[in-house]
Chains A and B, each alone.
Chain A
Amino acid sequence: MPGVVKPDEHNGRWIVDDPAAGVFKVNRNAFTSQEVLELERERIFDRAWLYLGHASELSKPNDFLTRSVAGRELIFNRNRKGEFQAFFNTCPHRGAQVVREPTGNAISFKCFYHGWAFNNNGKFATRSTPGTYPESFNCAGDVDLPKVPRLESHRGFFFINYDVDAEPLADFLGDAIQILDIVSDHSPNGMEIVGGTHEYSIRANWKLLLENSYDGYHAAETHETYFDYLMAELGPETLADIKTLQEINRAHTFPKGHAFTEARAPWGRPVARSIPTWGEEGKAQEAAMVAELNERVGPELALRIADRDRNAGFFPNLVINDIMAITVRTFYPVQPDLMLVRSWALAPVGEAPEARHRRLNNFLEFLGPGGFATPDDVEALECAQRGYASAKFAPWNDISRGMLRDQPRADDESQMRTFWREWNRRIQGGR
């Protein structure tokens, strides 16, 4: 039957997707296979939009930072005019990493190996004795710092794409772009990355962290000790509240593998949901923020910003969790069973010191490798990875939860199914 996709081409090898039966399974070899990792590098990481950094990290003209994105060392900088650019951090001469500081401000870059220099637009700027190189040297720009093929941004979130023919960033993100808008609208003054990066690795496949980051189902079980702590801080009346929260507990999925969950959790939100431990002063400050939000963005969006918690996963590897604080998190595979993780805290520019204090307190209580929750996530992911050694005899992960529900919930698994369908489409060669 021409025109009909053979079932085994898109269904059955890595995922089993049977909406009628309410069954969705993922083959555990997807987490362990070197062949899969090679396909992911070629068909996902070399073609999808990948998060690079936030504009606030380069606040002045000529600022730069170096960052590894999907295994490639990059320079992210601004030139004299303040324009944002991304280069591969490798000397066109013999390949050495040209910039070796994590951040700085510079109008030129010089490779320490043989002294090749470049201005901060990447242009070759090395003088040589006449006759050393031909007249035509660098006429084609081939000894300029190589530019990353594509660099685009939305509301200060910069993404790169290694595929020069990739669709525009806005088309790739589609309606999931609202998440970038919502976190950017927390403040009338814009948003910034707080100084400091959480850098860690997890001995597990990178896809497990995307699943984990918007997995409402695991929270109560894996993070029991965090919720014990929260209950002790907030008092018993919060428990009753949690039951009413079920009504506003949804997952939203989008084309191209993006999804977010939206719910209402018991913790305080620095913008802008006070909890008793923040006292009368905190309550008044948060109320003033709600009033400002209502005025600026209207009551509907103000309610979502102030009083709803969102865990967003952008295909393939960007997480923006707008929960008890905002974290921006990205991660890459090194091996099938090892990923590198970078995460940052995003906060309003000019945030009042007390509010910033509440935010960072909240952040550290739950998030990051020293928090009361993330270490247990790391343990869970590594534990799952060890389990996949038995994939030959126990081959499938079950991702079916809530598949037959009309309106998927944050503690169902539709967000992960959305990721896996896009992953599978691309792994099969789809653009």
Chain B
Amino acid sequence: MIMGDVMADAVQRPRTRADYEDFLYREAALLDQWRLEEWFALFAPDATYEVPTFGKGLDARPDSSLFYIADDHARLRHRVDRLLKMTAHAEWPRSAHVRMIGNVRIEGGDESGTQVMCSFVTYRSKNNITDTYIGHAAYTFVDEGEDLLIRAKRIMLGMNSLQPHGKISIIL
């Protein structure tokens, strides 16, 4: 039986928390380094990237509530294109950022993919001011062969307003 389980795992190997942590650390590094094309390649073709306003959790829908960001894959493509231009004035000259990921846990899985939650702290520094964004991120992952792809990423801010940040001009 033990042998059989091992064989089954080899065919459909469940991923461990460490696998997702590795993925999230890599994603954070790509964003910290402004490697946005590589970051965009982490997303599945039907992916969404969303930042609801404060207090709206996983149930909120961007077609009935006001969000800060509600990108489908096409608009996320435009967001990346925009942020790579020098005419994205809020981010040119570019800010420096540092992302910390923690409290990673696998929440479950269903036909949409595997749900993973984490906490994050993102520091953005520009013009001698450092702003801190904090919150939780909810991911849905799908397998693409050996690789993982993000099917949904929702940032739930742990701050009741964007004061003093004034904007979300980077990708959280």
Which residues of A come within 8 Å of B, CB atoms? Answer: 194-203, 222, 224-226, 228-229, 232, 338, 340, 344-345, 353, 356-357, 360-361, 363-365, 368-370, 372, 374-376, 378-380, 382, 386
Contact = CB atoms under 8 A, between A and B. Distances in A.
Contacts of A380: 89
B42 to A, nearest CB: 20
6 contacts: A200-B163, A201-B163, A340-B163, A360-B66, A363-B66, A374-B167
Contact of A203 (B51, B88, B166): B166
B53 A224 contact: no
Contact of A344 (B66, B67, B78, B90): B66
Interface string B82-121: 1001011111000000000000000000000000000000
Interface in B107-148: 127, 129
A168 B130 CA distance: 45
Interface size class of B (residues with CB under 8 A): 35 or more
A201 B162 contact: yes
Contacts of B160: 199
Contacts, number: 117
Given A340-B163, A379-B90, A229 B66 contact: no
B85 A225 contact: yes
Contacts of A194: 64-66
B89 A199 contact: no
B65 A200 contact: no
A338 B70 CA distance: 28
B8 interface: no
A376 B89 contact: yes
A200 B66 CA distance: 14
Given A226-B82, A360-B64, A376-B90, 7 more contacts: A194-B65, A195-B66, A200-B166, A201-B161, A360-B66, A378-B167, A378-B169
A352 to B, nearest CB: 11
B41 interface: no
Contacts of B56: 195-196
Contacts of A382: 127, 166
A368 B85 contact: no
B169 to A, nearest CB: 4
A232 B164 CA distance: 33
B168 interface: yes
A86 B70 CA distance: 34
Q: Give the one of A200, A340, A372, A374 with max B CB within 10 A.
A: A200
A386 B127 CA distance: 10
Nearest to A363: B66
A369 B166 contact: yes
Contacts of B88: 225, 376
A225 B52 CA distance: 23
Nearest to A197: B53
A200 B51 contact: no
A229 B88 CA distance: 12
A375 B168 contact: yes
Nearest to A233: B78
A365 B75 contact: yes
Contacts of B62: 360, 364
Cβ-closest 6 pairs across A and B: A196-B66, A199-B161, A370-B68, A200-B162, A370-B69, A375-B90
A370 B91 CA distance: 13
A231 to B, nearest CB: 11
B86 to A, nearest CB: 10
B73 interface: no
